[in-house]
Amino acid sequence: MPRVFNFSPGPAMLPAAVIEKVQAELSDWKKCGMSVMEISHRSPAFLNIVEQSKAMLRKLLNIPDNYCILFLHGGASMQCSAIPLNLSSPKKNADYIITGQWGLKAYNEAKRFSKTRIISNTMEQFSTPNTSELAFNDDAAYLHYTDNETILGVEFSHVPEIDNAPLVVDSSSNILSRPIDVEKYGVIYACCQKNIGIAGLAISIVREDLLGHHQAHTPSLLEWQHLHEKNSLPNTMPTFAWYVLLCCLQWIEQSGGVVQMQKNSIQKAKLLYEYIDNSDFYSNPVAPQYRSKMNVPFTLQKTDLDALFLQQSTQAGLTNLKGHVSVGGMRASIYNSMPEEGVHKLIEFMHTFSRQHK
Ligand code: PMP
């Protein structure tokens, strides 16, 4: 079976070069006579992966020395608890900007550990707020937002900058898809299974002055200070996922880094949105200035054709195009590893399908 173009929102498609490298190295990794899945997380060989992935992330995102990089269990969702536990308290307020389902989830989780406030909610409008529209609070422990809302396909094109509280961003579905100015943030966190690897590992990039302010009952595996001191190895970590992360980071670097990833994303998204906008068969609910370059939701005007569209696209080798249950329709996730060829093939299929069902 030839490899398909997998438009899944995550776990997502991996670069073909990464799959081939993993396959080639699988049974005898670095001539150690066993696979990377079988080596100790404390062995010098694995510690080398730890150091290389840290150095590579630092280089790719230009992360200053006063930020530590933590590798974590529990996906991005676990950080939704870790953030209030490390930065707030039941007495302090934590502020949230809601632009979609993931921001709302993060907010609902934070309520368990902190006082919380929603300072903006533009979820219903499929948009992001301008910084000038935000009412910042002086007493906020931090301000959280979701840079790219994976389900709605809404992405910030700017940083909601604030001076009086650390800015915390969920970058799960667009990390390493474009350069970012790390110094504008207190914390940047993301799961790996979309743009930079497979499920099982998440990362947090934390400004070091924010370490050590956790709530007393914080579980040690969620305490950033502890994780930093333990070099992100407090216990047995998902070693294979970490190795795949390193392979993906190396692939990004060899492919021209985040500047090139951004150029690719802009081009892929432009092709797809332009096609949708010029069609009267498909439509996208998001205004151009808020559109995600990673997740492109679209609906068919004739919704009774949804099932057939999905069946035939899968047969054509274009898989996982079903939209999230909460919004319906379709969604094409076009992360770093989706080649432009996949987008051309999708547009070709959409065009043929629309002509057949006019
Ligand atoms: N935030 C965003 C923006 C996401 O898209 C997702 C997963 N789709 C999550 C958080 C949750 O990630 P995880 O499943 O790794 O906990």
Q: Is 65 a catalytic residue?
A: no
Q: Is 345 a catalytic residue?
A: no
Tokens of 324: 């999230």
Is the pLDDT score of 341 beyond 80?
yes
C-alpha torsion angle, residues 191, 196, 199, 205 (rounded to 10)? -30
Q: Is 224 a catalytic residue?
A: no
Q: What is the mean pLDDT of residues 305-329?
A: 95
Q: What is the mean pLDDT of residues 102-127?
A: 97
Q: Which residue has the tokens 């809404």?
A: 154
Residue 138 confidence class, pLDDT cut points 50, 70, 90: confident
**189 C-beta closer than 6 A to ligand 1:** no
**172 C-beta closer than 6 A to ligand 1:** yes
Parallel, antiparallel or unpaired: strands 330-333 and 295-300: antiparallel
Q: Which residue's CA is minimally distant from atom 10 of ligand 1?
A: 76
**pLDDT of res. 135:** 83
Choose the catalytic residue: 54, 95, 194, 293.
194
Ligand 1 centroid – CA 303 distance (Å): 27
**75 C-beta closer than 6 A to ligand 1:** yes
Q: How confident is the model over 220-260, as pLDDT tens digits?
A: 999 999 999 999 999 999 999 999 999 999 999 999 999 99
Ligand 1 centroid – CA 193 distance (Å): 9
Q: How confident is the model over 174-197, as pLDDT tens digits?
A: 999 999 999 999 999 999 999 999
Please report, for residues 158, 175, 179, 271, the alpha-carbon distance to residue 258 in angstroms, rounded to integers and kept in the order given.
17, 9, 6, 20
Is the pLDDT score of 89 beyond 80?
yes
Tokens of 32: 């150690």
Rounded to 10 deg, the angle between the 340-356 and 306-315 helix axes is 130
Is the pLDDT score of 1 beyond 80?
no
What's the mean per-residue pLDDT of the chain?
96
**pLDDT of res. 28:** 92
**145 C-beta closer than 6 A to ligand 1:** no
Ligand 1 centroid – CA 231 distance (Å): 24
Tokens of 177: 């898809």
**84 C-beta closer than 6 A to ligand 1:** no
The minimum-distance atom of ligand 1 relative to the CA of 149 is 3
